[in-house]
Each structure stands twice: as C-alpha cells, then as structure tokens.
Amino acid sequence: MRLVLCSVGVSCMFLAACDDDPFLVEWTENPQEAVLFALDRDELNSASAYNMLARLQVVIEDPLTEGRWDFAVDRQNGKMVFLPPRVLGIPSKGALVPFPGMEFEEMQRAPSDTLLYVTDKPVPVELGTIYVVRTHEQIGSYGRICVYYGKLEPLEIDLQAGVLRFLQDTSPVCNNRSLLPPR
C-alpha cells in the first residue's frame, strides 16, 4: 500500500513540476470560410451539409455520410434555412442557437441551457446573426463520446442560386462550451 501511495505521490509531483496538464487541448482561433448549396438545387451531389469539427462540406446523398454532419441548408418559404439532422430524420445531437445582432468575436461561450438549441425544425439563415452549433456525437480523445461547440456567421446568402457562404470556427475540446481557446 505504501508503494502505491508513494508512486502516486511521485507521479503527482512529476506532473506538477512539469506544470503541464496532459489533458489540456492546445488550440488557437482559426475562423474559416465555407460554402454550402441548398438541398433543393437540381444538381446532385452538391455539398449541402457541414461537419463543424472536421471543417468539411458534406454531400448528404452519399450513404457513407449519414449522421456525420451537423446541419444542412435548404430554401423554404422564400428563405434560406439551416436544417438540423433531426429535421431530415437523422438521430443526432446536432443543433443550432441563433443570436441576432451579435458579432462573431463577441460570442465566447455556447449556452448551457439545452432548451435553447433547435434540433427539430428549420432555423432561418439571416445576415447579422451568429449561430452557435452543437455538433453530432463523435468519439473524442481517450474514447469518450463527445459533442463539440462552434459558431458561425453567414457572410453571403444568394437565395436565387441557393448558395450560402459563411465563417465558422469550432472548439476541439470535448463537451466544452468555450468558443475561445484558453489564455
């Protein structure tokens, strides 16, 4: 028993001496632009959905992508809309929260109130609004099931062409609502 306690004590001193947290995910802000195409466009195999953590445009008609995206875009009732996966019958934690009138840099933390997240209906895309996105569940570091949080800002909506250009950034820290890296 003394040997175990001694080993734990030495390990703790070693970690404290290093002053490094082995579980801390180092990351920096890295906003990037992306473009998506509305689902109702005539062309097949256009990227209509987005995976926030991987920063990938997704073709949802591809059977290999089922459930591996966080939102899609479409045109409905004369507006561009975000579609959380559940709207299209995909079981997912993917959801959005709109914040009208906020700036991209102002959004520092995803809300903790899960009732704010829209999971089951279209969310209108509007310029001048920041959207917090909760991702679909995925396996994170150390085999944990994680969701990730990110933010996006629509930059250009071409309703007639069915094209949305937006800026996005996502925290790579499992289940952490902070949208800014630790300082």
Q: pLDDT tens digit string along 120-165?
A: 999 999 999 999 999 999 998 788 899 999 999 999 999 999 999 9
The pLDDT-based confidence of 182 (bands split at 50, 70, 90) is confident
What share of the chain has pLDDT > 90, as a percent? Answer: 71
Q: Is the pLDDT of residue 18 over 80?
A: no
Interatomic CA distance for residues 127 and 140, integer angstroms: 32
Q: How far is CA 19 from the centre of its chain?
A: 30
- The model's pTM is 0.85
Rg value, the chain, Cα: 19
Interatomic CA distance for residues 154 and 24, integer angstroms: 31
pLDDT (average), residues 67-95: 95
The phi, psi pair for 66, rounded to 5°, reads -55, 120
Predicted confidence at residue 44, as pLDDT, reads 81
Predicted confidence at residue 5, as pLDDT, reads 45
CB 162 within 8 A of CB 125: no
Round the average pLDDT of the chain to a whole number and report it. Answer: 88
pLDDT (average), residues 13-29: 61
Interatomic CA distance for residues 56 and 32, integer angstroms: 11
Predicted confidence at residue 151, as pLDDT, reads 98
Task: Find the Cα–Cα–Cα–Cα dihedral 130, 95, 110, 124, rounded to 10°.
Answer: 20
Interatomic CA distance for residues 102 and 83, integer angstroms: 21
CB 166 within 8 A of CB 34: yes
